[in-house]
A = this chain, B = another copy of it.
Amino acid sequence: MARAATTADAFNAVAEPRRRQILDALAGGERPVNELVRVLELAQPQVSKHLRVLREVGAVAVRHEGRQRLYRLNGHALKPIHDWVKTYERSWSERFDRLDVVLEDLKKEEGDGSDE
């Protein structure tokens, strides 16, 4: 089997740095393809192809206006990534280190007083 398609899910779509750049550029608001071409300094067909991938995973949406295509962000498609990675936040966050201490203390008290 080969690698999963880039359009398989948001994880794969976003693994490509260029596509993250596009989303970052769209964070400021709706943009036509041409402007993304300027910002990314990438050829127009490549940008269109990246946009297609992002569309297929629902990370962007298009609106036709005259001969332009205005793309806009749909960050909601990134929620699964956030949800997944969030559970690992404790690995680097001091906030969670403190929480761990508290939970440890609670466990001690629990196993201390009552039966079982």
Contact status B11-A14, CB under 8 Å: yes
Residues from chain B with a CB closer than 8 A to the CB of A84 are 20
Q: Does A107 contact B (CB under 8 A)?
A: no
Q: Is the interface of A mostly helix, strand, loop or mixed?
A: helix
- Interface range on chain A (Cβ under 8 Å from partner): 20 to 34
Q: Does A98 contact B (CB under 8 A)?
A: no
Q: Does A90 contact B (CB under 8 A)?
A: yes
**Which residues in A have some Cβ–Cβ distance to B below 8 Å?**
3-4, 6, 11-12, 14-17, 20, 23, 27, 73-76, 78-79, 81-82, 84-92
Known: A79-B91, A82-B82, A82-B86. 6 other contacts (CB 8 A): A4-B16, A14-B15, A15-B15, A73-B88, A75-B91, A81-B81
